[in-house]
Structure 1
Amino acid sequence: MRKITLSNGNTVEVECLSCALTSGLVEPDGGVILETEYFHAHQDVAYPIEGLVILALKRHIKCLDELTDDERLDYITTMTKIRKAQREILGIDYVYYFYNEDTTHHFHTWLVPRYDWMNEFGRSVESLRPVLLHARNHRNTDENHQKVMCSIKALKTALM
């Protein structure tokens, strides 16, 4: 079991955070953004950035090549819907897609929006870690939390 501190300050102890989220054991702030037969989309629970969506497979696997044909089709279709809503509803022009196989959780993709405040950290994949840490350490305010919650609500409404 691992102890994980969420951006809302709560701590959870789980073996796999993705399994806990997709099964409903852990509720992400704002709830589920979109759910399909195979995937569960939610606001990232660790980093308070508007529109930072995690798309997690419900089944516990580690690698992209383990997806079934039906999961692969649902994956790209769902990710495309989320990205379109990020652009049209939240005005997000650029997104970094991030997925790694050496995670302690199971298969999921981060859709990390790019905002002007992030420019001080650079404009490459190398800027992601400093951006995320800055968000966790300096954007964990009531005002920013309200913005994040509004973005969740807007995405949920758009993706119904």
Structure 2
Amino acid sequence: MRKITLSNGKVVEVECLSCALISGLVDLDGEVVIETEYFHAHQDVAYPIKGLVILASKRHIKCLDELTEEERIDYINILSKIREAQREVLGIEHVYYFYNEDTTHHFHTWMVPRYEWMYKFGRSIESVRPVLLHARNVMNNHDNITEVRKAIRLLAAKLNK
């Protein structure tokens, strides 16, 4: 079991965060953005940044090359749809994508938007960690969480038409 701190400060103990999110064992700070047969997309629960989406496989795999052909097609299609919705609905012009193979749970891709306020932390990939920590430690307040939840609903509405 792993202890994970959510954006609301609540600490949960789960074996697999993705399974806990998909099954509803851990409540999302908002709602699911979109779900397909193979993937589940949600606002990241640890970092309250509008439009930060995690796209996770429903299957326990860790590497891109473990996806079946059907999963690969679904992955790129849903990733593209989410990105289009981020641009159209939230006005997000730039996104950083991250995926790592040493994860302790499901294959997943982080879609981290780039907002103007983030440039005070730098302009390169190295600035992402300080941005995420700033969001967790400073932006975890009622007003921002309300905006994050609004963004989730807007993305979900666009993607689930």
Which range moved further: 16-25 or 30-39? 16-25
Gaps of 5+ in 2: none
Answer yes or no: is 1:100 the counterpart of 2:100. yes
Q: CA deviation at 1:124?
A: 1.3
What secondary structure does 2:72 align onto? helix
Residue of structure 1 equivalent to 2:25: 25
Residue 37 in structure 1 maps to residue 37 in structure 2 = yes
- Please list the CA deviations of residues 37-96 of structure 1 after superposition, one character each: whole Å capped at 9, or x if unmatched: 000000000000000000000001010000000000000000000000000000000000
| 1:25, distance to aligned residue in structure 2 (A) | 1.9
User: What letter matches 2:79 in structure 1?
Assistant: M
Q: How does 1:1-160 map to 2 (within 5 A)?
A: 1-160=1-160
Q: Percent identity?
A: 73
- State the distance in 2 between where 1:64 and 1:27 align: 27
For 1:91, the aligned partner's letter is G
TM-score of the pair, normalised by structure 2: 0.97
CA contact (8 A) 2:96 2:113 kept: yes
What is the aligned residue count? 160
TM-score by length of 1: 0.97
For structure 1, list consecutive stretches of 5 or more residues without a partner in the other structure.
none
Tell me, yes or no, if the aligned pair for 2:85 and 2:158 is still in contact at 8 Å: yes
